[in-house]
Structure 1
Amino acid sequence: MSDSFPRLHARTRRFTLGVPRGFTISPSGDRIVFLRTKGGSDPVTCLWEFDVLSGKERLIVDPRVLSVDEEDLPPEERARRERSREQAGGIVGYSTDAGVTTAVFALSGGLYVVDLKTRYLRQLKTPGSVIDPRMSPTGVHVGYVTGGAFHIQDLEDEVDHALARPEAPGVTYGLAEFVAAEEMDRMRGYWWSPSGDAILVERADDSPVQKWHIADPANPSRPAVEQRYPSAGTANAEVELFVLTLGGARIPVPFEDEYLVNATWDAHGLSIVTMSRDQRRMRLLDVDPATGESTVVREDTDAAWVDIATGVPGHLSDGTLVWVASVDGGHRLIIGDRPVTPPTLQVREVLDVDGDAVLFRASGEPTEIALWAYRNGRITLVSPTEGGVYNGHTAGGTLVVIGQTLHSEGPSAQVSHNGTPRGHIVSHAERPGLDLRVSLIRAGERDLSTAVIFPSGHVPGSAKLPVLMDPYGGPHAQRVLAASGAYLTSQWFADQGFAVIVADGRGTPGRGPEFERAVLHDLATPILEDQVDALHGAAAQFPDDLDLSRVGIRGWSFGGFLAALAVMRRPDVFHAAVAGAPVTDWRLYDTCYTERYLGQPSEGHYDGSSLFADAEKLDRPLLLIHGLADDNVVAAHTLRLSSTLLAAGRPHNVLPLSGVTHMTPQEVVAENLLLLQVDFLKKSLI
């Protein structure tokens, strides 16, 4: 008997296992190194290589042959994986030299290096568990972090020594601090020089950050885990930068702003990007690595907030700056000081700069993310013309395009060299076995991007179905995409007897800065209004299929906040809610994310976006779900809301999940969570 969808969904880590990822292309474009598990339900990630000319792939390293126990992961590595939402095991990250001849990776705290041509693999001796090893561009040394100290090891003689050691508890060298990893998409804390003789290293001091304690109530014999968590309005980690040379020099690189957003060190020099605490100013600085002195190259400001773009700064072959900024109503690619994309094409991120070519992702239609290339003053579409969601990489004339459309069952990675197709890198992802019935529409007064999903056997007009809203809804995140993988869980819910609606309202990306900034100082009112607007707009287009007298809503994280908010503030519209890991009081959430939208708590914008003032209004069924080991949206959010609801005499249900984090990776838990939600919604609505 085949597995049910909930079981398959859990086992395949939401159908992400078996998908090729982590591409590195050799400078000549003849080889592609990548990561992939051997099957769609295999959680062990292996290192592979694809030969572009022959179209053949070969296995470089299978972690199983090393007989390591991943239960021994260092706490710092577990935290890093939680920040990056990494759900697989095995080799989940690697680094190569500039020539892509040697790779290095960590496995269960051990340090391994492999010759990509001969596949000769060896483990290097280290004084402790290894975090984030990165090869020098020259391939002579590898840098890594252990015990908060930054180490390098010579790969020839295997001599290992620390370039920087923590001077006090709470200090680390070479690791990204919490908010950088969680909210700025910066997962690294050090950068090699192109010549491999120096490294820019972050020093983070967590001692000013308040202490929180995450306990496991189901196992009272275990001590609570102490965590430094910078909630809104409190102190962040103190971040400093130093250039460390292999000769032992230590050169400070001072900067004024609160946040280090990014750094790059390429043939054209060392650059850092910093941002003010209020996130209304971003600076690009060129740094002299010999002295640590810096020069402001560019300063971007915004009355609301400045957006962080992944993949910049970069440089063309002649040193011309590659940047992304909000100009004239659009997120635009900047070459030098000139926008080269129209305001109507919303640039999402820069993927690669290969000589004078820039590969980037952008949206003309909000539900689609295409691949574009800039060269010699022109931009060209390089992903397929069929609308979908695409990603990719390029180097040495080779282009990898991986993407998915609304009509394809899974992602595929197509390879071309100088415009000639060279085959594809196989995906082993499982097929979900669902018959997708997704309609993408524009709904409501603001033409909101909306997906309406019906049961696979539904005949239009044959019956009015109870409605399930299935949003995320939060700023800088998007659910309505022209990709089949975005709707698998929603389709399964639909097949249980619901018409499911997914809507992206104000604050979500793809429609430009003005649409995103409409949530400034209010994360509740406009976002909830748009869910109601999308619901009514969808009902107007499907009047014989949607029963607005039976409307439920479910969500996780920000979506959990939105679900609880909906039944409290608009019980006339929403009749039941499932709120998973909800943010209930924004004062409890982290500085970088929360202050971007609501400012400092002292400014007075927090109460209007809190659930507590609305607790006494609850008269609809509400199920609160929270992992007690969640270190992102801590369980205190749900526990405090539950206490407030109880004090107000409002009945509700709470499902605590012992040992579960924000990702709920455990197979049985993930499966049963779906089943329990359906049971609750059916009892409440049908």
Structure 2
Amino acid sequence: MKILILCLLTFEQIFYEEKLLKLRAYAAGGKDTIAVLVTHQAVIQAMLICLADLPMPRMNRPSTSGVLPRPTVAAGGGTLGWKEIHQRIRELRRTFVHLFVKTPTDITFRQLGPNLFRCYFLLSPGQGRESTLYYADINLDPNVNSRIVYQEVLDSTNPFLWRGTSKEEQLQSERRRISTWGITNYELHESSGTIVFPAASTIFQCIHPERPSGPTSFVELKSSKVRLNPQICPINPNIIAFTAKNDIYIYNTKSGEEKRATYIYCGNGRLEYDPKSAGVPSYVMQEEFSRFQGFWWQPLSHDGICRLLYEEVDESKVPIVKFISPDDSTGIDEFRFPRAGMANAESTLKLLEIESCNNEELRITTRHLRHDLKEIAPWHEYLVRVGWTPDGMHIWCQLLNRRQQHLELILLSLSSFTGGQHKNSLSPSPSYTYYPSFSPHCLVSLTSPVWIDVHNILYWFKKFTTDLSQKRLIFASEESGFRHLYLHTVQLSPPGGIANCYEMAAGMNDHTIVSAQLIDKRSITWGDWSVLTNGLWVDEKLGLVYFMGLKDSPIEQHLYVTSLTRPGLFQRLTLPDFSHQVFMNDDCSIFVSVFSNLETPSKSQVFRILPAPPNSEVLVIISSLGELVSEPLSEALLEIKPLVVPEICTTTLLSGETIYSMVFKPHNFVPGRKYPTVLHIYGGPQVQLVCNTFKGFRHMRTHMLAAHGFCVVSIDSRGSDNRGVEFQAHILNRLGQVEIEDQLEVLQYLAQKCDYLDLSRLAVFGWSYGGYLSLMALAQRPDFFKLAIAGAPVVSWNLYDTGYTERYMDLPSANPTGYRSGAVLNYVHNLPDQENRLLIVQGMIDENVHFSHTNKLIQSLIKHGKPYQLQIYPCERHCVRQLDSNEHYETKLLSFLLQNL
């Protein structure tokens, strides 16, 4: 009998009040199809029912055989050989491939008509990790009953897309934490349908028609160089900018002309002689401030000239580190890496002006700042965010001081740039009357006694006033103790009024920053909860502000809307008891939510937004348009039993703070028995382990341990993300000194609540900061922790980078005690003398936590006569990516725990 169950979570009407939520499940098929109508609590189950009289398995019911095809062996209940463990890991990985559904990412929108939108997104076809580009048309016409069908934009079987990745692409994936390959990002020019994307070390382009008859052909923009970060000129989609070998190039797709726009790279083969780059952010800027772009197109031009703002980086003062590279012909790899207390890269801004004759020949002029950023703001250390105002009139940037306690949002005029007159201009010197001239202005200034978390929450109002000297914007800050939105209205002070852009007004003082006059500042959101660092949309016509936040729960992300005219009304638009990632179009008429919870793999749903009737208790009404990506259940799923769902617990510390934790029971759980316990730890800033989301492969190792008889616990102790300034600041200037105390207090509480946790057999494992705390746990409390597995651990903060370390620990010269007390190397003498209690794991070409950390740790272990095990992966960086390496590491992890815990 053919059984097809299709559970589509659809919301026909979702209002602010939960009682109006309507959830339906639909089943499609013939007479042999079983239809199941479920509530939202039940739809989260994997509905695999073969016959009507068979019971539905519950996700939180322990499986009698676990996920693995063979019976599992509880820890301590028997010995498994390496080969058998390795085979089980492989089988488990194959099982997980079928459990995790396709999840669309990087969703963008294109409007094709008054009621017709096209949605583009990345998705991995089949069960692989090779990502490619898809699209789906969304019709808002109520008279058209159209089902959403997603299709490939490109022919993904083209071998050009899968030719391997360069070292430059690998390093960029490391910084962005991208685990897929193929097409991992793309750029869309909405009006023309032009799409460009990097893949296989080069750039491809296609023009996607409004009515495609099948996969669209694409062309390679050929070059001998590894090209990254392509960006389409908004004014002329035939012009594309990209970076190659630390320089910016401009490509005219109509003529095929490629022109080098900057001449920074010398090409002499030695890093020490090539310290500069154009359009490429420094390592610290990418890794610690999440800015991956180094050039920005002017969104609108008022004189027909295309302008590209770019960052020029000078790393001549930054030390070079070297380590063994199995992929390099010399056997040595080099990087610029500023360790705590050392010199950082220095940045400035420059401007390219690009003209073309009949859309063919490119003429490029370079302009530089009249006064460098260091002259304008000598106190600043980091150029953390850059961009243009939407009208193309102004340039803005965010500057941060070295201790990361003072940030300013600066507005620059084009008159701040000079040089490079248009000697070979194709037309008479253009008029710059449209561009106002004024001194650099500070619009927003933030100061914190702790540290400032840089974010992407900034919105410039487009239709506020015709007065170019007034600006209205939304910016987020944590001045209240939680990150919230603030509406600023400011007045610029241009000397002499509006001046010709390149003819500076007489007496203009353009080498110092002028504070803008604050006309009005008001809170848009408030409360003991945080707005997230990404996701802000504004409907200026209706005065509505959409944002992502944690108002309902610190472990669930939701989309909310509030009104600029009705302050205090916050309407949640996403389904409760799930965590959401939201993508919205520019006019705030539709959005896509990709959502899941601990029991439910990701779903992607499309919603329409309509204004609520006047005097309504809600601001908007949303209706479901269907699923964006919907897949029939695979036959392999019929053979898979559900995973054990973890329990989320809350603990109140003696100090009064609430701590969230998560407990995974063994798959063969039997009440009354005690089980060896493994603490999966991170414990550092900017990370939150306990969330109501289905984490897919990120929880695979946890389920692997649970399948073999271990309880696994994760705890977000003080210092972790999304809980407010005071909660995070607990670790300020004392990394490694306070986290274990919180973890132990929660573990002891959980052991009383969950009597199956055997804390006499307690292990700890983690990676990066989690590896660091795993070492600290075993060194500080060897009486409590029996084993520690430390992956890529930091052993001394003097060896780590400036941006991260100094944010939480200050400069080494200002906090020598903190650096000394936070170094694992100063606790090695406390590590246990018994064998098989410590396993250290590291990739040899890790460019984030260098192998020198492990090297110094091993030297100290030897010096103090301490036993240890060491597992090295010669071809892995900070993240273990290769399949063979992952399987080997998981086998080693499980083998070590089974034998010794």
Give the TM bin, normalised by the shorter chain. Answer: over 0.9
2:150, 2:629 within 8 Å by CA — same for their partners in 1? no
State the alpha-carbon separation in 2 of the partners of residues 361 and 171 from structure 1. 38
2:701 is aligned with 1:609: no
Q: CA deviation at 1:127?
A: 5.5
Letter in 2 for 1:191: W
- Higher mean Cα deviation, 395-404 or 348-357? 348-357
Partner-residue secondary structure (3-state), 2:242: strand
State the alpha-carbon separation in 2 of the partners of residues 179 and 272 from structure 1. 17
Structure whose CA Rg is larger: 2
- Please, which of 612, 621, 628 is the counterpart of residue 425 of structure 1? 628
Q: CA deviation at 1:531?
A: 0.9
Q: CA deviation at 1:345?
A: 2.3
- Please, which of 308, 315, 322 is the counterpart of residue 474 of structure 2? 322
Partner-residue secondary structure (3-state), 1:437: coil
Corresponding residue of 1:75: 167
Corresponding residue of 1:166: 264
Letter in 2 for 1:321: L
2:690 is aligned with 1:480: yes
Corresponding residue of 1:359: 546
Corresponding residue of 1:518: 730
CA RMSD of aligned residues (A): 2.5
TM-score normalised by L of structure 1: 0.93
Alignment of 1:379-398 (within 5 A): 379-396=570-587, 397-398=589-590
Q: CA deviation at 1:9?
A: 4.2
Distance change (3 Å), C-alpha of 1:586 and 1:574: same
Letter in 2 for 1:456: H
Q: CA deviation at 1:505?
A: 0.7
2:315 is aligned with 1:206: yes
Corresponding residue of 2:414: 289
- Please, which of 636, 659, 681 is the counterpart of residue 897 of structure 2? 681
Distance change (3 Å), C-alpha of 1:17 and 1:644: farther
Once the two structures are superposed, what CA deviation does each residue of 1:574-593 show, in whole Å capped at 9, x if it has no partner? 11100011111111111100
Once the two structures are superposed, what CA deviation does each residue of 1:560-614 show, in whole Å capped at 9, x if it has no partner? 0011110001112111100011111111111100110011111212111110111
Q: CA deviation at 1:100?
A: 6.4
Q: CA deviation at 1:120?
A: 4.2
- Please, which of 99, 112, 125 is the counterpart of residue 38 of structure 1? 125
Distance change (3 Å), C-alpha of 1:27 and 1:529: farther
Letter in 1 for 2:887: E
Partner-residue secondary structure (3-state), 2:625: strand
Q: CA deviation at 1:258?
A: 1.2
Partner-residue secondary structure (3-state), 1:659: coil
Corresponding residue of 2:865: 649
Q: CA deviation at 1:159?
A: 2.4
State the alpha-carbon separation in 2 of the partners of residues 317 and 263 from structure 1. 22
Partner-residue secondary structure (3-state), 2:286: helix
Letter in 1 for 2:530: Q
Corresponding residue of 2:137: 51
Letter in 1 for 2:884: V
- Please, which of 171, 192, 196 is the counterpart of residue 297 of structure 2? 192
1:444, 1:536 within 8 Å by CA — same for their partners in 2? no
Partner-residue secondary structure (3-state), 2:153: strand
2:210 is aligned with 1:23: no
- Higher mean Cα deviation, 399-408 or 98-107? 98-107
Q: CA deviation at 1:93?
A: 0.9
Partner-residue secondary structure (3-state), 2:683: coil
- Please, which of 112, 124, 135 is the counterpart of residue 204 of structure 2? 112
Alignment of 1:132-531 (within 5 A): 132-138=229-235, 139-166=237-264, 168=266, 169-195=274-300, 197-216=306-325, 222-247=330-355, 248-253=364-369, 254-255=372-373, 256=377, 257-268=380-391, 269-292=394-417, 294-315=440-461, 317-318=463-464, 320-336=472-488, 337-356=521-540, 357-364=544-551, 365-376=553-564, 377=567, 378-396=569-587, 397-408=589-600, 410-418=601-609, 419-426=622-629, 434-445=642-653, 446-460=657-671, 462-485=672-695, 487-531=699-743
Letter in 2 for 1:106: P
State the alpha-carbon separation in 1 of the partners of residues 330 and 95 from structure 2. 28
State the alpha-carbon separation in 1 of the partners of residues 558 and 462 from structure 2. 22
Distance change (3 Å), C-alpha of 1:127 and 1:484: closer
Partner-residue secondary structure (3-state), 2:416: coil
Aligned residues, how many? 679
2:598, 2:645 within 8 Å by CA — same for their partners in 1? no
Unaligned stretches of 5+ residues in structure 1: none
Once the two structures are superposed, what CA deviation does each residue of 1:10-61 show, in whole Å capped at 9, x if it has no partner? 9989988842111111256701111111123x22211111101141222111
1:584, 1:638 within 8 Å by CA — same for their partners in 2? yes
Q: CA deviation at 1:146?
A: 1.3
Partner-residue secondary structure (3-state), 1:606: helix
State the alpha-carbon separation in 2 of the partners of residues 316 and 511 from structure 1. 33
Unaligned stretches of 5+ residues in structure 2: 1-67, 70-86, 140-145, 267-273, 356-363, 418-438, 465-470, 489-520, 610-621
- Higher mean Cα deviation, 597-606 or 512-521? 597-606
Letter in 2 for 1:350: N
State the alpha-carbon separation in 1 of the partners of residues 206 and 892 from structure 2. 46
Partner-residue secondary structure (3-state), 1:26: strand
2:767, 2:791 within 8 Å by CA — same for their partners in 1? yes
Runs of 4+ in 1 over 6 A off after TM superposition: 10-17, 218-221, 427-432
Distance change (3 Å), C-alpha of 1:161 and 1:556: same
State the alpha-carbon separation in 1 of the partners of residues 590 and 842 from structure 2. 45
